[in-house]
Structure 1
């Protein structure tokens, strides 16, 4: 899938987004980059990661220019599931590659990532409906011991002691569904309105003195002691570059790096408003919920009393309209009491996934950094990505080097064959989950 095709499909996926319908954007987009500009740091991508780099660099006194190819917060940061989580998509990979002490350090930083989200909401007065509480649940008997083993490892090996085990009766008391057999409750993680949060980060970055430019796709980066970042109508001459575009970055990064992530489309629907009492009856405390299947369902109740229900990954970027009824049926299988409820919104976006589902942070040159591959854990982890990149630019590279030590393989087949290969791989895992 080419960058242009990916952008077209991503545009189509967001046309009926609940987040867009319920957030207030600035009256005008940031300007387009024109002419020659100078800065200490040029950030490519104005999503969670890029804005976090900008805020952290400004806190260290560095001048910052942020370039985005589209409208502000156009990509995954403005349309994701909103779960704000400690940990990683596959925690065991972190320990396998970094060792026990490395895994404990990485987990501590992921917890810091959740704390950073909450701190920025408070500091900058970002109204984004943050709600604490997160439930990981098991739907099948064979998944219950897996969930228990994960909780025990998190608590005893990786140093996160806030989790509590919920047996079948306890999980039924938390989630009004017969589907779940057990669960783990995390009171520190939570969920938010991602577009409102990202718009708030953008305003914070402007307030702190970063310069943001929209509709300014990067065509190339000329590497060197003072890199030059080129757009169609301007250029940024800088000391450091941070590439934070993830799945929609195009050809900016060398292929050896870009081929380590694949864009996977994920989909969400939002119901009509249910009213407070009916919504409250579904999930005690309105925690976010996610099962521990390979192809998982995730859902939560919004501030305006809707159910937001997501899942159904695709490597081809099928339109949300094609999948709306399928996702609604998945929602009804969880909550049969919602069989009479209409779906009002259906949208999606591309998630940047690595083969091992661990984050991929690295440096192409000593002054050219990239962060990608958040694999569904980007709301909190992108904040830490921005912090460790800014620290590395300031000469404090220990935290960045920890993540950079993670090893990643390329997806097979090149751009033309990557989609079909991914679809075959996902079909294999769907068949396994039916067994």
Structure 2
């Protein structure tokens, strides 16, 4: 089943406000390349761009339209680091390796800003910070430990803890306090993705849309086959994330597609009072609420507890209660857009970056893909060019397979999510 088809991308605020972008032709016939990239989101486009800048002949194949996967549907939140916090990284990997992982993840921020500036990408960039709201008093102790680790181990001085009163001045909803990162921010993710595509084409990349890969033949080099054509290449990159299906068992066994749902309100005259800081905001729930303001003063709010890729029958009705519990002052306000997307999560919540012979891949950003995807694409291009040190750092933390294989990973994951959802409710 193609769960993405029920997620109403046509009702997305991002599609309604997208910059003009060309359509790319279907792949018809057989062509040769140095590298074939499967997936037209930020990972694939970044890999294609950086590989083309190194002189490779690159063909990118997208099953639908460029940016219509997770890259063009997400919350647009620019969050520094990985899904695992600094303290957790130190606990699992030790101080030296944790610092190396954090430093590499931090590069995603500088890389993204450089890409936006260098290629003149108009994507409503706002460098207004990222706030994590504490939904329970106990979260504040966790914030203290995280801040101490960030300061002493990671040498990252941009975080600070906000009291409940200070947090309320930043966002008009009651939290017990917050952890605020001054280097966070937000973007229009579809326009960023379309800008990456424009940059890739300018660098010489050939893009084919509406050309889903049915099979990856590896008997003699790489042959990516679609219904109407094929690309032969020395190397392949798989960058389809949650939408990969029956192409590579190694890749697909380590991700779980999960639905995420967002609404956009009507333009709010009181927008500046709702989030005075204009920061991008998330909270400490395991099933996180995340939200921000758009350039035209709408509240873009994502949240809700759903543990399978299948969409709810009414996305607006599904998300609205979570929005109104967070902002009772917006009860009954008109919602103009409602849509969803699939994110790929891993067992460790760390990205799965690696290679399987001549096939390279990166996915499983677990909700942190807005910036990490661009970095991962660059690392893949580096590795194919023989520069493997930075790629190997992420490759070395690859997550375990989901237990039970493809048949049982869904039910087992649902049980785990239900447990965490119960824990969330007990914290409130």
Question: CA offset at residue 318 of structure 1?
Answer: 4.5
Pair 1:328-2:323 in alignment: no
Aligned to 2:28: 34
CA distance in 2, matches of 1:251, 1:346: 30
Question: CA offset at residue 174 of structure 1?
Answer: 1.0
2:182 to 177, 187, 192: 187
2:356 to 364, 368, 391: 364
Question: CA offset at residue 323 of structure 1?
Answer: 4.4
CA distance in 1, matches of 2:60, 2:324: 42
2:273 to 281, 284, 287: 281
Q: Is the 8 A contact 1:93 1:358 kept in 2?
A: no
2:283 to 261, 270, 291: 291
CA 1:347/1:30 → structure 2, altered by over 3 Å: closer, same or farther? same
Aligned to 1:100: 95
1:341 to 333, 352, 363: 333
CA distance in 2, matches of 1:228, 1:93: 40
CA 1:397/1:97 → structure 2, altered by over 3 Å: closer, same or farther? farther
CA distance in 2, matches of 1:114, 1:209: 25
Could you tell which deviates more after superposition, 81-90 or 416-425?
Answer: 416-425
Could you tell which deviates more after superposition, 98-107 or 165-174?
Answer: 98-107
Give secondary structure in 1 for the equivalent of 2:107.
helix
Aligned to 2:45: 51
Give secondary structure in 1 for the equivalent of 2:345.
strand
Aligned to 1:126: 121
Q: Is the 8 A contact 2:61 2:208 kept in 1?
A: yes
Aligned to 2:164: 168
Aligned to 1:117: 112
TM-score (norm 1): 0.93
Could you tell which deviates more after superposition, 403-412 or 310-319?
Answer: 310-319
Aligned to 1:376: 367
Give secondary structure in 2 for the equivalent of 1:337.
helix
Pair 1:427-2:426 in alignment: no
For these two proteins, the number of residue pairs brought into alignment is 424
Question: CA offset at residue 429 of structure 1?
Answer: 1.1
Segments of 5+ residues of structure 2 without an aligned counterpart are none
CA distance in 1, matches of 2:233, 2:58: 9
CA distance in 2, matches of 1:408, 1:158: 23
1:179-220 Cα distance to aligned partner (Å, 9 max, x none): 211112212121111111111111111111100001111122
Pair 1:150-2:150 in alignment: no
Q: Is the 8 A contact 1:320 1:348 kept in 2?
A: no
Aligned to 2:342: 350
CA distance in 2, matches of 1:21, 1:147: 38
Give secondary structure in 1 for the equivalent of 2:348.
coil
Question: CA offset at residue 172 of structure 1?
Answer: 1.3
Aligned to 1:65: 59
Question: CA offset at residue 325 of structure 1?
Answer: 3.0
Give secondary structure in 1 for the equivalent of 2:184.
strand
1:242-288 Cα distance to aligned partner (Å, 9 max, x none): 111111011111x233111100101111101113xx11112223110
Q: Is the 8 A contact 2:11 2:337 kept in 1?
A: yes
1:405 to 396, 400, 404: 396
Question: CA offset at residue 226 of structure 1?
Answer: 2.8
CA distance in 1, matches of 2:360, 2:151: 33
Segments of 5+ residues of structure 1 without an aligned counterpart are none
Could you tell which deviates more after superposition, 336-345 or 50-59?
Answer: 336-345
Give secondary structure in 2 for the equivalent of 1:330.
helix
CA 1:212/1:180 → structure 2, altered by over 3 Å: closer, same or farther? same
Give secondary structure in 1 for the equivalent of 2:183.
strand
CA 1:414/1:349 → structure 2, altered by over 3 Å: closer, same or farther? same
TM-score (norm 2): 0.95
